Amino acid sequence: MPVLEILPKVYSVGVVDWNVRNFHGHTYTTKRGTTYNAYLIIDEKVALVDTVLGSFSDELIENIKQVIPLEKIDYLIANHVETDHSGAIPAVMKLCPKAKVIGTEKCKEGLYRYYYGNWDFQIVKSGDKIKLGKRTLVFLETPMVHWPDSMFTYCPEEELLMPNDAFGQHLATSERFADQVDQCALWDEAAKYYANILWPLGTVIIKKIEEVQKMKIPIKIIAPSHGVIWRKDPLQIVSKYAGWAKNDTIPKVVVVYESMWGATEKMARKIVEGINSTGLSVKLFDITTSDRTEVIKEMLEAKGFIFGCSTHNNGMLPTMAGFLDFVKGLKPKNRIAASFGSYGWAGGAIKQIEDIIQETGIQAFASNISVQYMPDQSELQRCVDFGREFARRING
Ligand code: FEO
């Protein structure tokens, strides 16, 4: 990523990871790649806010060198311990050993456990400030948005918020600003990011947004650590987060299934037919061939979920079981869910799905639908009716 002066003497010095397709291990597919953003602020004192994934350390260092020799860095602000932002800290600190690392107490603990570096570390709390010269950096602890160590850095003179992972998108682009990129891709990636990473943290996110709103700090630019920078109407992404965090929904159903010999698939298609006949928006996914990250994004605003699975060994098939385990961890609220599936001689999959719906705290639909072996015409019609009834419940 070419170095870009995003504000006078504030430089974007991060890197683009065009080719990454799996993130967080294999928990998140990044079909559009990502960026690891870092910001260099030049004043009487020099601050580097965040670094990049360790394998891109050299590129980050070359970018910084285009602006200033590394030994001039006074402060390395570590907003977050996770290695996609802290991975280059050891390499950078070798070249500016006198710099002070700034972060929360949990950040200090986490960085030590990752890198065992003997760095001068200053712990900061919410409201603590560092004067750079004309500019100030103010810190806001944001525990569990999205790790215990997480923190936002704010520069009041520039009205610049650097919230690390919050408000990011996994989107590799040559452009640096949100208003320069394809808006469909931008919002698709912003929603996917929230759904797959931040969805379980809605309560904390609402509180943190309210806390920032009460502070009445002007925000002209939001510069996250992934993707593009929000400079035109930057609060639009904050409003979106507020809605997602409140689990706001739209009348829409997502049907996800796994089928062993095609019976559950036939049922799924008829259920979708029933939903469709009411005019309600619906999407159908075979979880064995779908990208889970995309399915979760589709679920983010959907009011209704329907999960189907054939019974195997008295329980669910493994891909569906893994998917629902992931869904459970996201703790979606304010939803209605139903289950369906085929079985041979003894059921079990539906019971497991219903247990997960209950454990997740999703409201269960009044009924489910199961079929032995292959559905006949009347059972297929029951599936259509089931879909129609579920749609009425969602619309109701
Ligand atoms: Fe982008 Fe929590 O790391």
pLDDT tens per residue, range 372-386: 999 999 999 999 999
Q: How far is the CA of 23 from the centre of ligand 1 (A)?
A: 10
Mean pLDDT of 61-83: 98
Q: Report the length, in residues, of the chain.
A: 396
CB atoms under 10 Å from CB of 138, counted, come to 18
Mean pLDDT of 122-130: 97
Which of 290, 226, 222, 231 has the alpha carbon at shortest distance from 256?
290
What's the pLDDT score for residue 240?
A: 97
Residues 264, 274: Cα–Cα separation, whole Å: 15
Task: Examine the residue annotation and report whether 80 is marked as an active-site residue of this protein.
Answer: yes
Position 268 pLDDT exceeds 90: yes
Residue whose structure tokens are 């289950």: 339
Q: How far is the CA of 247 from the centre of ligand 1 (A)?
A: 22
What's the pLDDT score for residue 40?
A: 98
Which atom of ligand 1 lies nearest, measured to the CA of 164?
1
What's the pLDDT score for residue 364?
A: 96
DSSP state letter for 194: I
Which atom of ligand 1 lies nearest, measured to the CA of 197?
2
Mean pLDDT of 330-351: 96
Q: How far is the CA of 197 from the centre of ligand 1 (A)?
A: 9
Give per-residue pLDDT as tens, 307-331. 999 999 999 999 999 999 999 999 9
What's the pLDDT score for residue 245?
A: 97
Residues 49, 85: Cα–Cα separation, whole Å: 10
Peptide bond before residue 146 is cis, with ω within 30 degrees of 0: yes
Contact at 8 Å (CB) between 58 and 205?
no
Position 18 pLDDT exceeds 90: yes
What's the pLDDT score for residue 109?
A: 97
On average, the pLDDT of the chain sits at 97
What's the pLDDT score for residue 1?
A: 80
Contact at 8 Å (CB) between 106 and 143?
yes
Smallest CA separation from ligand 1 atom 2, residue: 82
What's the pLDDT score for residue 24?
A: 87
Which pair of tokens denotes residue 83? 């290695």
What's the pLDDT score for residue 25?
A: 83
Position 26 pLDDT exceeds 90: no
Residues 335, 302: Cα–Cα separation, whole Å: 8
DSSP state letter for 362: P
Mean pLDDT of 203-224: 94
Residues 15, 3: Cα–Cα separation, whole Å: 9
Report in angstroms the alpha-carbon separations of 177 from 6, 12, 219, 293, 383.
9, 11, 15, 24, 47
Task: Examine the residue annotation and report whether 312 is marked as an active-site residue of this protein.
Answer: no
What's the pLDDT score for residue 376?
A: 98
- Residue 219's pLDDT band, with cuts at 50, 70 and 90, is very high
Smallest CA separation from ligand 1 atom 1, residue: 165
Element (H, E) at 377: helix 377-395
Question: What percent of the chain clears pLDDT 70, i.e. is strictly above it?
Answer: 100
Smallest CA separation from ligand 1 atom 3, residue: 82
CATH class given for the domain over 253-395: alpha beta
Which amino acids bring their CB within 6 angstroms of ligand 1? Answer: 80, 82, 84-85, 146, 165, 225-226
Residues 383, 280: Cα–Cα separation, whole Å: 16
CATH 3.40.50.360 placement within the chain = 253-395
Task: Examine the residue annotation and report whether 226 is marked as an active-site residue of this protein.
Answer: yes
With both helix axes pointing from N to C terminus, report the angle between 318-330 and 292-299 in degrees, rounded to the nearest 10: 40
Which of 15, 8, 16, 18 has the alpha carbon at shortest distance from 51?
15
Mean pLDDT of 264-273: 98
Q: How far is the CA of 344 from the centre of ligand 1 (A)?
A: 45
Which of 149, 145, 158 has the alpha carbon at shortest distance from 194?
145
Which atom of ligand 1 lies nearest, measured to the CA of 226?
1
Contact at 8 Å (CB) between 296 and 330?
yes
CATH 3.60.15.10 placement within the chain = 4-245
What's the pLDDT score for residue 396?
A: 82
Please, which residues have CB within 8 angstroms of residue 367's CB and are 6 or more apart in sequence? Answer: 338, 386, 389
Task: Examine the residue annotation and report whether 84 is marked as an active-site residue of this protein.
Answer: yes
How much is the pTM? 0.96
Residues 301, 71: Cα–Cα separation, whole Å: 48
* Domain 4-245 annotated CATH 3.60.15.10: yes
Which pair of tokens denotes residue 90? 């050891």
Mean pLDDT of 333-351: 96
Render 290-313 in DSSP notation, one character per residue. S-HHHHHHHHSSEEEEEEEE--BT
Task: Examine the residue annotation and report whether 24 is marked as an active-site residue of this protein.
Answer: yes
